Structure 1
Amino acid sequence: MKKIYNLKKEDWKDVLRRPTQTVEAIEGLVNDIFKEVEAEGDAIIKKYTQQFDKVSLDDLLVTPAEIAEAKKTVSPGLKAAIQLAKSNIELFHKAQVTDRVEVETTNGVRCWQEKRPIQKVGLYIPGGTAPLFSTILMLAVPATIAGCKEIVLCSPPNTEGKLDPAILYTASLCGVTKIIKVGGIQAIAGMTFGTKTVPQVYKIFGPGNQYVTVAKQLATKHGVAIDMPAGPSELLVVADDSANAAFVASDLLSQAEHGVDSQVILVSTSKDMIASVEREVALQLEDLPRKEIARQAIANSKLIFVEDDQTAIDLINEYGPEHYIVCVSNEDFYLENTVNAGSVFIGNYTPESAGDYASGTNHTLPTNGYAKQYSGVNLDSFMKSMTFQKISAEGIQHIGNAIELMAEAEGLQAHKNAVTLRLNSLK
């Protein structure tokens, strides 16, 4: 990890830059695949599955028999762990259900807001080097609570043309209605346009690599909403001498092992803590099965010393981390002044892994600085707010003249007439 001391503010942008390609570098390939999928559907999806996932598939759809077999394969211990996580995630997301909001703005003018589920949602679940069945919990559980009618899951197959048994078990447990063996750009394109096998959806959720992220952004040009531009994972830890260096190192490595384009950062007011964490990272790295991936991610990562808490919090808000761990004695200062972060983990005994799996919060979060304007996935992500109003004869008389005057001032005579006719009928 690169150690940085006495960082000048004018250098923040360069130092905090993510190790990702630009949209422009990827967009051409994504556009080409989108056009092909739109024109030729399943045949092109199978072509790119062969090219990128090294497997030829006759049928992209997961069968009930495959799900039944997967249920037998997953160990009882893992099933219990998944069920525990599901229970906590359900509790947290059910608590987000809100009642109808209703108000009479003027006598006879009644307005209210209700929420309705998005009918068709697509869930993208990364496979590859790490089949993220936990992401199914984070997406399918709130989708089910919201009442989405169609929950379509896409995930890349392995070289045997199969999905990880834990993915199939979790999808079945959480109410997914259709599971399709397709990943990458072609999966996002399939859910955008719809094919014989892949249903078209109204909104696409889920993290992915840089190609998936750009594909999701392109989907928005074709009338499909997305949760957020969620790309490679990232973590920022702020720690002082009250932190446990071994714990901090383990958290940094937990995100570094996601992928070579992940980024982890330690910000500290203690040079001793930085030195201790650096030693712990080197020690713990050697014992990781995914150490080569983590090693490359660590090469993109930083250990940053700052002189004081105010500089630290300013730097953190400028970065806008996806995951943010606070292990400092002055805890309240950081929590009160943090405005840009996806999810916050507080204290020595709150690892980021807890949020990834089983504490109950959602782990689908904004990356690449998008925490400055996006929220992480929550129950409302799967719903739309609809407004209603009902105006009585008394109500239109109260607000009618104001509407007429405003419509006339904007030069919209038909708008004015719609009110004038009603007012005249009441004379």
Structure 2
Amino acid sequence: MVKIEPFKVEQWMDRYETTPGVINVAETCAASVSIDELVDMCEDKSAPSPLSLSKKLTYGAILGSEPLRQCVASLFDRASPTPLPAENVVITQGAISANFLLFYSLVGPGDHVICVYPTYQQLYAVPESLGAEVTLWKLKEENGNIPDANELEDLVKPNTKMIVINNPNNPTGSTTPKSVLEVIVAFAKSRGIIILSDEVYSPLYHSLPAGKEAPPSILTLGYEKTVATGSMSKAFALAGLRLGWVASRDKSILHAIAAARDYTTISVSQLDDQVASYALSEKVLPSLLKRNTELAKTNLALLSAFVDKYSSVCSWVKPTAGTTALIQFREKGVPVNDPEFIVDLVNKTKVLVMPGSTCFGQGQDFKGYVRLGYVCHTDVLKQGLEQLEGYVHEYLL
């Protein structure tokens, strides 16, 4: 029987996010929007509704509708000399399904996987559950939580099948720049290693240092055996659609994923497909991304002011992208017991964050750290920080 490790962050979220009155600053999606709000964002007020109520609800196009696949393909064209064809996109039920299908199709006993760490637990737990050996590629705060590509030489093995990165990174909010991506690609290409880039928080590169450009997708860097996954949940504020994608320039990889998906979901909901196509259309997408980028900048400034004010008890590497931050809290100079801390916090203040050592660490890694999702509605973040400030004054200072 396959051994599946408990998905800790999801279990912690399930346990507490429905607590009555909870102030949820653990959520990692940009504050969700409704279909009505999408319609308001559309530049063409005469455009058809996002939903066709007369369309028969068959399985629809098995790999995703042509309009949606074209919209997703267009997302990868930023800084790309070669546009990605729509046929190189497979629509899935969320990025979580895209990632799972990729591992299920390509990784098994006898394979070795290198995965950045910390990251979303799925990215290293699933290949391990399938019998692969996984080596964690540890990010370092002193390096801005950016992967050190020079370390790959010591991590690689003769049987390394895949390198897994996450850009922007969850939970740190760091950005892996193009220069580092190029080194990773060159390393993998010389050895025929597949690269999976989970780009579910792209393109929310909202707070890069002055003069720094947002990195391109891994698919734009001239190596066929690269794979990118994403979804409507995080950067596009539509988690309720449960719609994502996997894209690659390697048709054999896509065929393997499509074949595996025949045993799972077959296709996605036509309703989800229609709404996603509308949201990613050229008449809606610019307004949607502008709204989410401005929200991220506004809220990160609020969170940064809090961390600066209470630097005696909390510290971080300030995020440059995405929606999450990893913050360490201390009491009398000692890192707090973060699982106990977040339970006490939610019980006393209703503020919900996630424990870093439990959900993103192994052993003593990330002791005292919490992951906070700051791209919620601004009033929710303000309320959460106000309650957290009171807690800090009473229990940590």
Shared topology, TM-score over 0.5?
no
Which of 1 and 2 has higher RCO (CA within 8 Å, sep 6+)? 2
Q: TM-score, normalised by structure 1?
A: 0.27
Max radius of gyration: which structure?
1
* Structure (1/2) with the larger helix percentage: 1
Q: TM-score, normalised by structure 2?
A: 0.29
